[in-house]
Structure 1
Amino acid sequence: MSTEKDIDFVLRTVEERDIRFVRLWFTDVLGTLKSFAISPEELEEAFEEGIGFDGSSIDGFARLEESDMLAFPDAETFQLLPWRPTESGVARVFCNICTPSREPFAGDPRGCLERVFERADREGYVFNVGPKIEYFYFDNDVDPVPLDTAGYFDLTPSDVANDLRRQTTLTLEKMSVPVQYSFHGGGPSQNVIELRFTEAVSCADNIMSSRLVIKQEAAAEGLFASFMPKPLSDAPGSAMFLYLSLFDHDGENLFWAPKTEHPAHLSELAQHFVAGLLRYAPEFTLVTNPTVNSYKRFITSGEVPNYATWGRKNRSALVRVPTHKPGKHVATRVELRSADNTANPYLALAVTLAAGLKGIEDELVLPEEATVDTFSQSERELAAKGIERLPRTLGEAVDRFEESELMRETLGEHIFNYLVESKRREWEEFCTTVTDWERVHYYGGV
């Protein structure tokens, strides 16, 4: 939340840097970034009273008869936009959305994550997340034509991807979004940017900023950056891997335990947290993988999870426990490998945190580690071990989500019902659309 000190700093910076436009950023329920600009003269009032706007045009926000909304800027998120001219500068600030009575709006995804984060904070936990964002560069926004044929960690013959990643990293760092790694991904023209971990709400803000900057820098070079989970049939898909950990208020990592207590160095609390992720993953998959195309990525490649398992070296596991450097206990974390970049990051982090906290609350027992690639075993064999399959289609994900009391409680009736309605409609539309594949196989008859 904004403090008087934060607000004073922003107002002073706007005056000293001659900022002429301040963009107010927020997302709709589906995760699309929204923005409108105000003059610096309106900023002080915005912090005190909010700025009104019509919420009826925002997906998942409000009906026409209750359309008035207020955007309250969060002063801690104030940043200059480095791609705008230095003269007559432009800044941005993320907002929380409220009703005219100044009550938090139930359809605000950022507010939803803040509520779950604050609940964890009251229980003594700080939820930290580090995202690894995969995406593709293409030469246009219509047909996905790769720019190279390179693979994982390759130094591409063309400098296009290297230069773009470098420029993207520099731009993000100017916006105080720290980049830990950047490299070429496993597919042709696929790239990866990994952000340094931070607390959950800041992480979601950083993901939204990164998506925009990645697209912005690509467009400046006449290229197109795509976050589509599976844009190419014969290439790996793109994920948004999430590295999760809980700290206490003194900065101690609560996930670490000596190897004598657990082979993966997971504390008892971490084991309960991971058990919660595994138990509720089939229910929250709609949020982490919210499009028809998301499920095209879930193929038997050995790198994408299809079952609710955990492991250390098994990259087909839903939750992987990376090995950290000896003595570096602060790096103990777990990696959720299912999410993709079509997810609203605020909602994705809200449901994963809620699932982990539920595992802690109910003291769920962590199942046996999946040391063998799950694709080498039959579904019957896995079911006999109590290993549950993740949804395979958007329609199946909607069904599992709709049955979940935890998801309804975490997201609230407003967001929950909107997701069920909009995603069921999306699935039905896909099921009734005739594709090129069907024409190739069936048009000529049998």
Structure 2
Amino acid sequence: MSKLDNIMEIVERNKIKFVRFIYVGLDGVLRAKSSYLDELEDHLIHGIGLTMAMQSFTALDTLLSEPRFGPESEDIFLVPDLETFSPITYVEGQGRVLCDMKLRNGEEWGFCTRSLLKKLSKRYKEELGIVFQSAAETEFYILKQTAPDKVEPIDWARCFSTVGYDALGDIILEIIDALKASGISVVRIIKEYGPGQVEINMKHRNILRAADDMVVLRDVAKGVAAKHGLVATFMAKPFDWHAGSGMHFHISGLDTETGKNVFYDKNDKKGLNLSRTAYYFIGGILHHMKSLSAIVAPTINSYKRLIPGSWAPSNICYGYNNRSAAIRIPTTRVGKEEKNIRIEFRTPDATANPYLALAATIAAGVHGIREEIDPAEPVNVDAYKLSKEERAKRNIELLPTSLREALEYLDRDDYLKSELGSELIEEYIKIKKVECESYEHYVSPWEIKNYVPVF
């Protein structure tokens, strides 16, 4: 039985009436068109038309004032990857499939971030003999929305408290069931630090499938929460008084011939069991960290998470099991080092486009491998507490403190622009600057409260 025939059988068995053809915009928003049952088979083969202008849309749901693609632009097609099809378990009659954007002649479109990740994965496999693997620790909040601009936690359980699993258990289980129905293996579920905050860890896969898993998790969590009259949010910092939410990338690489972990070396003189390849990969990410931040921490709100002392990174460094560093080398069990050695990139949050974020991260790491960029010595102290002088002595710089600053670094990063596509990055920067300008013009309640009585 062909994959298409198998899908149509699943559709019939599950009484599916329409299927979401999902893509992720340059703005990081999950969007979709849907196919009704009557035309589903044709759409699964040929795709659904979509205006190019959607890749000039912003997260504020506006078209750029000077877009690369406007109402006059032709259509591309959302062509599904049939391997990603699944029924949606928490609503009746719906399915989901993830899509590439293709031109009408069937060629990949240069502004499709999923196609970009596939292209880079293939290129680096051929060039380096490495198949990069990843999985995400993804944190999010489940909240009550009491007004358009106000949310409240649905529970106040402490970090890792068993009570939190009681309060959130039914929703979490429904999310897990939906992920499993999509072929995603869940490793751990954690009641996190914040009230109503959850972390879900998924199994390592090749980088394309890892990014797909992140997309499905976002779709599922929001859908299940909505079913219960709640809202799931992956924004980095929904409360100024409590923990932020990240999307930590765990990354390793497998040798294409032996299948062994190329990041592992038991003879590592630094005692971290890392290979030279792993160190160079770290060096590349650290080298590009300021510009990379614009892609992996892509919203105004992202930079309210990346502050000193917050359990989120603010220092551009790496260290053994050091959660104050941008890159952490996680502790592994004795005897499991070769299989489990990896790096954890802690800067990203889940407002990022997962395909673009992983593409940029891997591209930065590969630059380190190509140029043998030395990441210097690991930082195994609390980096938050280092003085300015101590940071200078260790050559530790700070992450950008705003999206606009990060975008300025990205605009000057010729390597990343070349690897990811200069035209794509230029449009991305324009899209993100719209958010900056909107926020900078906004007069906040804080300003009214503190300035009106005084001045």
Q: Does TM-score exceed 0.5, indicating one fold? A: yes
Distance 1:264 1:5, change over 3 A: farther
Are the counterparts in 1 of residues 248 and 348 from structure 2 also a CA contact under 8 Å?
Answer: yes
Alignment of 1:133 with 2:138, yes or no, is: yes
Q: Which residue does the alignment assign to 1:383?
A: 392
- Pick from 84, 95, 98: which aligns with 2:99? 95
Q: Which residue does the alignment assign to 2:448?
A: 439
Distance 1:342 1:158, change over 3 A: closer
Alignment of 1:299 with 2:307, yes or no, is: yes
Which range is displaced more, 44-53 or 297-306?
A: 44-53
Secondary structure of the structure 1 residue equivalent to 2:188: strand
1:283-294 equivalences in 2 (<5 Å): 283-294=291-302
- Pick from 355, 358, 375: which aligns with 2:364? 355
- Relative to the length of structure 2, the TM-score reads 0.91
- Pick from 222, 230, 253: which aligns with 1:223? 230
- Relative to the length of structure 1, the TM-score reads 0.93
Distance 1:428 1:120, change over 3 A: same
Which range is displaced more, 93-102 or 359-368?
A: 93-102
Q: Which residue does the alignment assign to 1:198?
A: 205
Q: CA deviation at 1:262?
A: 3.9
Q: Which residue does the alignment assign to 1:426?
A: 435
- Pick from 161, 170, 193: which aligns with 2:168? 161
1:31-430 equivalences in 2 (<5 Å): 31-40=28-37, 42-60=39-57, 62-85=69-92, 89-123=93-127, 124-140=129-145, 142=147, 143-156=150-163, 159-249=166-256, 250-328=258-336, 329-430=338-439
Letter in 1 for 2:22: W
Letter in 2 for 1:51: I
Measure, in 2, the Cα distance between the counterparts of 1:240 and 1:312: 19
Measure, in 2, the Cα distance between the counterparts of 1:114 and 1:387: 33
Are the counterparts in 2 of residues 204 and 345 from structure 1 also a CA contact under 8 Å?
Answer: yes
Q: CA deviation at 1:428?
A: 2.3
Are the counterparts in 2 of residues 302 and 315 from structure 1 also a CA contact under 8 Å?
Answer: no
Are the counterparts in 1 of residues 27 and 432 from structure 2 also a CA contact under 8 Å?
Answer: no
Q: CA deviation at 1:7?
A: 3.8
Q: CA deviation at 1:436?
A: 1.2
Measure, in 1, the Cα distance between the counterparts of 2:309 and 2:367: 31
Q: CA deviation at 1:356?
A: 0.7
Measure, in 2, the Cα distance between the counterparts of 1:141 and 1:258: 54
Measure, in 2, the Cα distance between the counterparts of 1:174 and 1:396: 41
Q: CA deviation at 1:416?
A: 0.5
Measure, in 1, the Cα distance between the counterparts of 2:56 and 2:444: 27
Distance 1:395 1:380, change over 3 A: farther
- Report the count of equivalent residues: 440
Secondary structure of the structure 2 residue equivalent to 1:308: strand
Distance 1:158 1:337, change over 3 A: closer
Q: CA deviation at 1:57?
A: 4.2
Secondary structure of the structure 2 residue equivalent to 1:318: strand
Secondary structure of the structure 2 residue equivalent to 1:139: strand
Q: Which residue does the alignment assign to 2:65?
A: none
Are the counterparts in 2 of residues 144 and 232 from structure 1 also a CA contact under 8 Å?
Answer: no
Letter in 2 for 1:244: I
Measure, in 2, the Cα distance between the counterparts of 1:313 and 1:54: 46
Q: Deviations over 1:323-364 (max 9, x none)?
A: 112222211111001111111111110000001111000011
Measure, in 2, the Cα distance between the counterparts of 1:188 and 1:306: 23
Are the counterparts in 1 of residues 137 and 202 from structure 2 also a CA contact under 8 Å?
Answer: yes
Distance 1:141 1:31, change over 3 A: farther
Distance 1:157 1:354, change over 3 A: closer
Which range is displaced more, 410-419 or 108-117?
A: 410-419
CA RMSD after TM alignment: 2.1
Distance 1:430 1:23, change over 3 A: closer
Are the counterparts in 2 of residues 126 and 199 from structure 1 also a CA contact under 8 Å?
Answer: yes
Identity rate, percent: 31
Measure, in 2, the Cα distance between the counterparts of 1:332 and 1:350: 21
Which range is displaced more, 153-162 or 101-110?
A: 153-162
Are the counterparts in 1 of residues 317 and 396 from structure 2 also a CA contact under 8 Å?
Answer: yes
Q: Can you give the 5+ residue segments of structure 2 that lack an aligned partner in the other structure? A: 58-67
Q: CA deviation at 1:377?
A: 1.7
Q: CA deviation at 1:16?
A: 5.9
Q: Can you give the 5+ residue segments of structure 1 that lack an aligned partner in the other structure? A: none
Are the counterparts in 2 of residues 302 and 373 from structure 1 also a CA contact under 8 Å?
Answer: no
Letter in 2 for 1:149: W
Q: CA deviation at 1:237?
A: 0.7
Q: Deviations over 1:256-305 (max 9, x none)?
A: 11055441110111111111111111111000011111001122225111
Distance 1:25 1:425, change over 3 A: closer
Which range is displaced more, 53-62 or 230-239?
A: 53-62
